[in-house]
Structure 1
Amino acid sequence: MLFSRSLLHLLPLVCFISALPTDDARNVHSRRNGTAGGVYYGVTSAEHEERSKSLKAGGYRVISLSAFGTPPDVKYAAVWTKAEGAEFETIASADEDAFNAWYEEWKGKGYVSTHVAATGPAEEAVFAGVMERSNITEVQKCGMDTPYAYENVTMDINVIVRGVSVYGSPSNRRFCIVGHENIGNRKQSTHYQTTYFTIDYQKMYDAEIQKRFWRPTYLDVSNDHLISSLFEDTSVGKWVSKVGLTEAQLTAEIHTQTASGLSLVHLQGGGEGDDVLYTAIFAEKTEPLSQNWNANGKMTGFEDNTALTSSLDTTMRDWMTRNGIRQAQVAVAREGKLLGERAYTLAESDRAVASPSDKFLLGSVSKMFTHAATQRLIDDGLLNLTTTVYPLLGYNPADPRANNITVEHLVSHTAGYDRSVSGDIAFMFRSVAQSKNSSTPQTLRDMIEYMVERPLDFTPGDGGYAYSNFGTMLLSYIVANLTGTPYMDFLKERVFSEGIEAELFATAAETHFNDRIVQETKFTGLSPLFPQEEVLVPATAGGDGDIKEEVVGSFGLRASASTIAKFIGNNAVWTIGGRDWMASRDGSVAGARAYARSEGQENYDWAVLLNSRDFGSEEEWNGLVYTTLPDIWAANKIAEA
């Protein structure tokens, strides 16, 4: 395997260090909007209200607000910054009825909630908040006995959470959450703490910051010190986050970070008396960097390349803006010869500008390379479509029907494996290891031997069809087994022709810290590399249950859109053999979405690759690949050679 277990064990420490200020040029930006003079904590309600009036009159605005303790001894912490902005109103020390009345009054005047804080027992909680004039859609709900009820409140609105406040007692918790309409589909991960579902914050933090550019943006701390957190992938330059600070430690930390050029941008307190602890976030900027648009590459094979380029660029910019996609590629070819390629970037200045030669994770578009390798073995006389695979490999399956599985069954997804019935083995590396009480990451051979002992879900070739990642995993193993050549080496020697380049997308997160293309996902999960340990990692780094080195034949390759468009001009995109006329393949895996199609009209082939599948909706994707892009190709005639 191509990962280091010892290195991965060190990863949380490495990531923690990388969150501190460094000289990394990617994170260097000018300081703006410092918070000097606008920070206070551990103050009484009266002092908070007095300071609020003074700061507001002086042109300051609230960027963080916290209330903690038990009435009547409620304390406040806040961060204000001097900046222009919309009109705003504040409230503090209000009971639930007064707070709700204030909220409804100002909402009726065109204001939205930007900050909410609550503390004390559920029956006598004290509330504070900030509302500003805005026409954005906002959803706020307090008094919930579970934070997951917020999803029922937001209904069909795509919301990005702006803040959460946990109050009440451990036996009777309440939650107050405010969110704004998520225009542009910004990515966010939320981690709420409840009495019955607690999260080890440090483990979760370590996993979150393995995702490049991700950082904590909100750290609520309850009076019993449970931390609920929000993480995003926006950029504010250098940043530092701290939890579990006493008041003295917080004071020292503010001095230290201010001296290093960072400002306090978020502050929350929890507890009472000598038991108060704070969370704090420091950053170079109080607002995230804006995103910049870039398109490069050329369309060269059409009668009006300028018109085609303009149409493509407008379409991709609008789609990426609407769906929160930062990097993408589009390419078109004919008979293996490139007709045009474009790379798109809509991202902050600390991200790389994508180029047409950059490689994106392909997901299941990787399967066409396994099918091409299978075809090479057929051409060599080592296989045919009717070859039975388990006897070939020397296995005697527990289900006798499996002895009849052929190469054709694997290619056509009719081998008897139905992931809707038995689960998708490609994402079960951790659970398979645990079933054997093994602390060792499972190999492809381990997974095959596990499957050999399992019953099939239906009889091979009896007319049933079920999409199966295991089919191409097994084919890739056959390629290596029959030739005595590692699968990737065989691809390089026999499948990749001139101008065709693809490579393994390694599992371990640390191997991608400097990648130009950031395969983005908001999800994390337990690592299959440490099956007996509770190690959280990004979904792209095995948190979805796969090990890319072992599933490479199914969905573990990365390549450029240009490579894909050229390759399918001479190789089948869906089955095996030569070019598929009017066939396509859709690849979807954590951190990536890809589509490749061989058209019938004028025999051209094209591909589009994205650096994330966390876009607006499946309908958005379908509209892009099934309607918008095909219409653009159809409207632009290929130039005669």
Structure 2
Amino acid sequence: MKQLSARGILKCHMMFLIIGGISLALPGRAIGNEWRATHGVDSQQLLKFISDASKAGMRPEFVQGFDAGDSAQFAAIAVKDGREWKLSHALDAKAFQQAFDRFTRQQYRLACVSGYRDGVRVCFTGIWVKDQRPLIAWRARHGIPAADYQDVFDESVKNNFMPVHVQGLTTPVGEVEFSALFQPVEVQPVQATSWIARHNLSATDYQEIFDLQKEMRPVSASAYPTKDGTRFTLVMIKDQTSFIARHGLSSDDYQKFFDTAVADDFRPTCISGYLEDGTLRYAAIFIKDRMPKTRPATNHPVSGRRIPQLSPLDRIMLSFMRDRSIPAGTLSVSRNGGIPFSRGYGWSDDARRHTLSPDASFRIASLTKPMTAACIYKLEQEGKLHRSDSAFGYLGKGILADSGVDARFRDITIQHLLEHQGGFDRDKSGDPMFNSLEVSKDLSVPPPARPDDIVRWMIGRPLDFTPGTQTHYSNFGYCVLGRIIEKVSGMKYVDYLREHVMLPLNAPTVRVASTLAEFREKDEPIYYDPGKAPSVFAADRTERVPLPYGGFCIESMDSHGGLLASAPDLVKFLNQYWIDGRPRGPNESKSHLFFGSLPGTHTCFVQRTDGVVWAVLFNQRADSSNLDYNVIQEQIDAALDEVDWP
């Protein structure tokens, strides 16, 4: 059994099927959260399923082909989410690569790929979805020989990608090949705090992982015959979504399982068929979001000056929030330095008596990191530090003097921390910023653990890799940067940020957020999340509390994800600094995108090459619709592409 752990090719409202090289246009586009599924169908039945789903306003989300003996059979899932799509079906490797290249140029991204044996042929079927702007690099591979798969995986992991879909197949000559999709770790919803991937699993190994990984949820699985028996691939993430999974089911047993699962409000996300001793069997994954719709968010009030030319943005925001039952959100858009559009949607209070202001302050999660980077560049301009300096050398004499300290800590530079190359991999050793109770217990300090406590705790642990050799998204690295800013400036992190970066921009709302609801700002909305956890505060150690209000200590996250800010102030920042923290120069033109996410928080800001920047903030990141939250970036950018600016 091979263990693959780390971050696991593509960027790619009309809909098309490419069938053996023939294009067929399909009508229809709709918004909603309906789904339908099929299994054990042949190629023509698959195409009819997709055509019927498209006419009902749905798109294919998942397709997997498998060897059923004389010919291939398929399983498929269709959903109604309003995204544009294309599908290539029954292509050989060369034709599939040509389709891949063509659709990528049209800004479609491969979202599902299946390699399968159809008689004496190896074929590929893929689903592409529309990305309105090519800001996110995805990776895809098909037809990877088994001997090369580990190298492909390791190279993707080294570059901070994680697998989201892996399928194995056995060719007509008995060789095993893999198809796989990888995405940047920062694109994965943050509730997926860790993940694992495996391939070449026996049925016993496959079941053992489910038995051991009680807090992990499968997102991709496939089964394929080999000379050594049936083998499985598996990708799992750590989040709070309820799921059920089965394997080794006959066709009749799978149908019974399907009917029972659907009756319990589960829906399929992955269906894999495979031959075992001449019998067709199925492995499947079903999910049910645990977020109840207890606060349906409909008929949102809207605040702020209405701009007729930008009214499509209002429609997008209201539809997006209604479909996901989001109570509160703000959107600000700046063009050439001005802010022509700033709107609030929904309510600032739980009783829904007070309309949310466009200037309302929200937790911004990881949108904090570009501001921390800007402070580092500012201090370098002032001659107070250099990015090539040893990072931990700024934190006090003797901090690395203990003989048990990993010697590589001395090699970590400030630049390494800025670029997530400091030697910290949360998928291997966990994220200390969310381990407050463990840190407090180990150090015998009162909870919640403070940033200096967390730094001291981490120095006592070995690094996960040699600094500068890998890239792994690190909240802790930015926690250290915050402490460096304090040591060098002689000021609290947030005070230096406000005085030297934000106040010169007339952006006064930035400050450290408060964990407990009773201390939230007057204009700050309530945050919603289905999860609960033990409180990180000493007085409440035995109590399970809502995740946004005691499941973590946001004050200790100050320099990586603990700030509060308004959307207008964020676009002011984006007008003066690039998202990597560098000051913007005259006539520079770049595209940048950054997401932030915490329980109860989903945020995004974007810099475009046309001089437009925008920021959107929501008080929720999960709900029972199972709809994608990151798609808001594509929808807003698509609307801005069409604006006739006032």
Indicate how the Cα distance of structure 1 residues 609 and 383 shifts in structure 2: closer, same or farther if over 3 A, else same: same
User: Structure 1, residues 257-301: CA drift from partner, whole Å, max 9, x if none?
Assistant: xxxxxxxxxxxxxxxxxxxxxxxxxxxxxxxxx8432112236xx
Residue 621 of structure 2 corresponds to residue 613 of structure 1: yes
Instruction: Look up the match of 1:585.
Output: 594
Tell me how far 1:565 sits from its aligned partner: 1.4
Amino acid at match of 1:466: H
Instruction: Look up the match of 1:563.
Output: 569
Instruction: Look up the match of 1:188.
Output: 292
Indicate how the Cα distance of structure 1 residues 531 and 569 shifts in structure 2: closer, same or farther if over 3 A, else same: same
1:249-328, aligned counterparts within 5 Å? 291-298=298-305, 305-309=307-311, 311-328=312-329
User: Structure 1, residues 29-52: CA drift from partner, whole Å, max 9, x if none?
Assistant: xxxxxxxxxxxxxxxxxxxxxxxx
Tell me how far 1:525 sits from its aligned partner: 1.0
Instruction: Look up the match of 1:334.
Output: 335
How many Å separate the matches in 1 of 2:561 and 2:447?
22
SS at 1:467's partner residue? Answer: coil
Tell me how far 1:615 sits from its aligned partner: 3.6
Indicate how the Cα distance of structure 1 residues 308 and 532 shifts in structure 2: closer, same or farther if over 3 A, else same: closer
Residue identity over aligned pairs, in percent, reads: 26
Indicate how the Cα distance of structure 1 residues 548 and 151 shifts in structure 2: closer, same or farther if over 3 A, else same: farther
How many Å separate the matches in 1 of 2:352 and 2:626?
29
Instruction: Look up the match of 1:107.
Output: none
1:397-436, aligned counterparts within 5 Å? 398-436=405-443
Q: Tell me if structure 2 keeps the 8 A contact 1:334–1:605.
A: yes
1:390 to 370, 389, 392: 392
Tell me how far 1:584 sits from its aligned partner: 1.3
Indicate how the Cα distance of structure 1 residues 619 and 452 shifts in structure 2: closer, same or farther if over 3 A, else same: same
SS at 1:331's partner residue? Answer: strand
User: Structure 1, residues 586-624: CA drift from partner, whole Å, max 9, x if none?
Assistant: 000011100001001x22111111111124567522322
SS at 2:595's partner residue? Answer: strand
How many Å separate the matches in 1 of 2:448 and 2:536?
6
Tell me how far 1:638 sits from its aligned partner: 3.3
Tell me how far 1:487 sits from its aligned partner: 1.3
1:159-558, aligned counterparts within 5 Å? 187-188=291-292, 232-233=294-295, 291-298=298-305, 305-309=307-311, 311-345=312-346, 350-393=352-395, 394=397, 395-396=399-400, 398-462=405-469, 464-496=470-502, 497-500=504-507, 501-512=509-520, 516-530=524-538, 533-543=541-551, 546-558=552-564
Q: Tell me if structure 2 keeps the 8 A contact 1:336–1:567.
A: no
How many Å separate the matches in 1 of 2:354 and 2:389?
47
Amino acid at match of 2:526: V
Indicate how the Cα distance of structure 1 residues 405 and 293 shifts in structure 2: closer, same or farther if over 3 A, else same: same
Tell me how far 1:439 sits from its aligned partner: 3.7
Indicate how the Cα distance of structure 1 residues 376 and 514 shifts in structure 2: closer, same or farther if over 3 A, else same: closer
Q: Tell me if structure 2 keeps the 8 A contact 1:441–1:531.
A: no
Amino acid at match of 1:597: V
Q: Tell me if structure 2 keeps the 8 A contact 1:502–1:557.
A: yes
Amino acid at match of 2:419: S
Tell me how far 1:555 sits from its aligned partner: 0.7
How many Å separate the matches in 1 of 2:516 and 2:619?
17
User: Structure 1, residues 76-128: CA drift from partner, whole Å, max 9, x if none?
Assistant: xxxxxxxxxxxxxxxxxxxxxxxxxxxxxxxxxxxxxxxxxxxxxxxxxxxxx
SS at 1:292's partner residue? Answer: coil
Q: Tell me if structure 2 keeps the 8 A contact 1:440–1:530.
A: yes
Q: Tell me if structure 1 keeps the 8 A contact 2:535–2:543.
A: yes
Tell me how far 1:450 sits from its aligned partner: 0.7
SS at 2:267's partner residue? Answer: coil
Q: Tell me if structure 1 keeps the 8 A contact 2:292–2:624.
A: no
Indicate how the Cα distance of structure 1 residues 617 and 368 shifts in structure 2: closer, same or farther if over 3 A, else same: farther
Amino acid at match of 1:607: A
Residue 630 of structure 2 corresponds to residue 629 of structure 1: no
How many Å separate the matches in 2 of 1:551 and 1:349?
29
SS at 1:330's partner residue? Answer: strand
Q: Tell me if structure 1 keeps the 8 A contact 2:479–2:559.
A: yes
How many Å separate the matches in 2 of 1:348 and 1:440?
29
Amino acid at match of 2:603: A
Q: Which stretch of structure 1 is more off in the superposition, 343-352 or 354-363?
A: 343-352
User: Structure 1, residues 200-227: CA drift from partner, whole Å, max 9, x if none?
Assistant: xxxxxxxxxxxxxxxxxxxxxxxxxxxx
Tell me how far 1:352 sits from its aligned partner: 2.3
Indicate how the Cα distance of structure 1 residues 575 and 488 shifts in structure 2: closer, same or farther if over 3 A, else same: closer
User: Structure 1, residues 165-222: CA drift from partner, whole Å, max 9, x if none?
Assistant: xxxxxxxxxxxxxxxx99xx99439xxxxxxxxxxxxxxxxxxxxxxxxxxxxxxxxx
Indicate how the Cα distance of structure 1 residues 476 and 513 shifts in structure 2: closer, same or farther if over 3 A, else same: closer
Instruction: Look up the match of 1:27.
Output: none
Q: Tell me if structure 1 keeps the 8 A contact 2:298–2:322.
A: no
SS at 2:576's partner residue? Answer: coil
Indicate how the Cα distance of structure 1 residues 186 and 526 shifts in structure 2: closer, same or farther if over 3 A, else same: closer
Instruction: Look up the match of 1:153.
Output: 264
Gaps of 5+ in 1: 1-148, 159-180, 190-231, 235-289, 300-304
How many Å separate the matches in 1 of 2:472 and 2:376?
20
1:87-102, aligned counterparts within 5 Å? none
Q: Tell me if structure 1 keeps the 8 A contact 2:330–2:616.
A: yes
Question: Which entry has the higher C-alpha Rg, 1 or 2?
Answer: 1
Amino acid at match of 2:582: I
Amino acid at match of 2:484: I
SS at 2:300's partner residue? Answer: strand
Indicate how the Cα distance of structure 1 residues 292 and 349 shifts in structure 2: closer, same or farther if over 3 A, else same: farther
Amino acid at match of 1:442: A
Q: Tell me if structure 2 keeps the 8 A contact 1:440–1:531.
A: no
Tell me how far 1:515 sits from its aligned partner: 5.1
How many Å separate the matches in 1 of 2:637 and 2:432?
34
TM-score, length basis structure 1 = 0.52
How many Å separate the matches in 2 of 1:407 and 1:576?
14
Instruction: Look up the match of 1:244.
Output: none
How many Å separate the matches in 2 of 1:432 and 1:348?
33
Amino acid at match of 2:389: T
How many Å separate the matches in 1 of 2:531 and 2:543?
14
Tell me how far 1:531 sits from its aligned partner: 8.6
Q: Tell me if structure 1 keeps the 8 A contact 2:424–2:464.
A: yes
Tell me how far 1:307 sits from its aligned partner: 3.2
How many Å separate the matches in 1 of 2:325 and 2:460?
44
Amino acid at match of 1:378: E
Aligned residue pair count: 359
SS at 2:497's partner residue? Answer: helix
Instruction: Look up the match of 1:11.
Output: none
Indicate how the Cα distance of structure 1 residues 307 and 578 shifts in structure 2: closer, same or farther if over 3 A, else same: closer
Tell me how far 1:335 sits from its aligned partner: 4.3
Tell me how far 1:490 sits from its aligned partner: 1.1
SS at 1:494's partner residue? Answer: helix
TM-score, length basis structure 2 = 0.52
Amino acid at match of 2:335: R
The RMSD of aligned alpha carbons is 2.9
How many Å separate the matches in 1 of 2:450 and 2:300?
42
Q: Tell me if structure 1 keeps the 8 A contact 2:290–2:530.
A: no
